[in-house]
Amino acid sequence: MKPKFKILLVYPKIPVTFWSFKYALRFISKKSASPPLGLITVAALLPPEWDLKLVDTNVGKLHDTDILWADYVFVSAMNIQKVSALDIIDRCKKLKTKVVAGGPMFTTEHDKFLYIDHFILNEGEITLPEFIRDMISDHPKAVYTNKTQARMDDSPAPRIDLLQMNKYASMSIQYSRGCPFSCEFCDITLLFGHKVRTKTREQLMHELDCLYQAGWRNSVFIVDDNFIGNKKKLTEDILPAMIAWMKEHNYPFRFNTQTSIELSDNDELMSLMVKAGFWTVFIGIETPNEGSLAECNKNQNIKRDMIASIHKIYNFGLQVQGGFIIGFDHDPLSIFDLQIKFIQESGIVTAMVGLLNALPKTKLYNRMVKEKRLVETSTGDNTDASINFIPRMQLTTLLNGYKNTLSTLYSSKKYFERLKTFLKLYHPSKHSNLKISLIDIVALFKSFIYVGVFSKMRFDFWNLFYWTIFMKPRLLKVTIAHSIYGYHFQKILSKHMK
């Protein structure tokens, strides 16, 4: 008889950061923005007869009794979760429970972590089955690694039954892996390669069915690093199927994802995405300075009017969140003003402006090592005003300029000016669910109190609130949501920019 193991899957805590939306989540009584998709996918790869338990420390507590119950504790983490991950590992070792570690942080730097019994690196569909076989035969190795890229049609539907779904603001689905681009600072191609691999239409529809049958009726984040990596398959197969599914089920979800700026060049693709229920896309803009774009090999953003591209996406009915970076070698002293001007004119309300950091094993990291400019390991939080290499710009000038950029962008005046610019340009489709739900009503009244009375944003909040009521009443839900995000961003600003 094969042994039956008890597996505890633990997801470390994500600190309060720009993308944690911690202060915003309180308005809708949620604990975390999204679930640990990697861990619940790993759970689906384990033998079904094994006993599994999931503890996401972002939504619940990890107790010693949980650790003592398990034969093995599986931990997956990103760099930003390092402190929490090390604490979990330390607790497991004190209680003499074996630890199995995988995920992005361990895949790139497993040699720097002690006291871990087994590493499952790279893609779990490839490395985990070998570990399972060795577990069963009682001869597991210390490290399992394989650079072979998994076929996405071998990737199972995640075990969403292990989640406390009501604790999350959004659910997550992975449709593809890989990115065709080669940005110097990015670790995506290091982890998943350049070839874009996708799930089948049937797999994706099955995962939508699973969420629907579990009672989910809210946001779904398609976590792909570049959702439009295979445009042909999307336009001819995936998006038409999603459109039909959403119509059949009365549009229960709103989708968010990440894409490249090239999306704006494809009218058909944008139109299909909107019809399929996509609301928001995150785009890595990085910088309006073309010299810096060339430096980091962000060639897809060069020689185009990026503001016009963004406005075109708004007009098709998609909201844009943007990633921006300061600290490139080619950044001029005027970069701070250039970034502020670009972001304000673009109307990108949620603008994540970070300092450049060299993530482990990336091309930027290797260059910094070669140039003897690497100082320390990145924190993984590119908005905490830290930098892990010696910049070309004088460090004090860079840090002061960066802090002033964030303080300006997330001042009440600039933030609501940007939000108003966006609202004027945004034209949601008739399929966009902009009706006010019960949870929206609760968030609305909380926003009246916390944003409209007690925050520094109160005067600008009420001005835009009444402008929306009279000029864009259909977008009231959008205005309130972004006002709450603004409240969160100001809280983060006060934490990091002291």
pLDDT in tens, 185-201: 999 999 999 999 999 99
* Beta-bridge partners for 294: none
* Cα separation, 69 vs 65, whole angstroms: 6
Greatest Cα-to-Cα distance within the chain, rounded to the nearest angstrom: 71
- Rounded to two decimals, the pTM is 0.96
| % of the chain beyond a pLDDT of 70 | 98
Structure tokens that stand for 484 in this block: 């709450």
What was the pLDDT predicted at 438? 83
* Cα separation, 275 vs 298, whole angstroms: 29
Q: Is the pLDDT of residue 101 over 70?
A: yes
Helix axes 412-425, 306-316, angle to 10 degrees: 60
Residue 433's pLDDT band (cuts 50, 70, 90): low
Amino acid at residue number 201: R
Q: Which long-range contacts (CB under 8 A, 24 or more apart) does 112-115 make?
A: 113/86, 113/89, 115/89, 115/90
Q: Is the pLDDT of residue 291 over 90?
A: yes
pLDDT tens per residue, range 32-42: 999 999 999 99
Residue 1's pLDDT band (cuts 50, 70, 90): low
Q: What is the DSSP string of 389-419?
A: B--SS-HHHHHHHHHHHHHHHTSHHHHHHHH
Q: Is the pLDDT of residue 6 over 90?
A: yes
Q: Is the pLDDT of residue 405 over 70?
A: yes
* Cα separation, 293 vs 153, whole angstroms: 35
pLDDT tens per residue, range 316-373: 999 999 999 999 999 999 999 999 999 999 999 999 999 999 999 999 999 999 999 9
Residue 383's pLDDT band (cuts 50, 70, 90): confident
Q: How far is residue 32 from each of residues 13, 111, 488, measured CA to CA in Å?
A: 10, 30, 14
Average of pLDDT values for 276-296?
98
* Cα separation, 447 vs 476, whole angstroms: 12
Average of pLDDT values for 121-143?
96
Q: Is the pLDDT of residue 381 over 90?
A: no
Those residues whose C-beta lies under 8 Å from the C-beta of residue 96, and which sit 6 or more positions away, are: none
Mean pLDDT taken over the chain:
95
What was the pLDDT predicted at 431? 67
pLDDT tens per residue, range 221-245: 999 999 999 999 999 999 999 999 9
Nearest to 407 by CA among 382, 383, 423: 383
Nearest to 313 by CA among 427, 234, 402: 427
What was the pLDDT predicted at 380? 80
Q: Is the pLDDT of residue 272 over 80?
A: yes
Those residues whose C-beta lies under 8 Å from the C-beta of residue 435, and which sit 6 or more positions away, are: 477
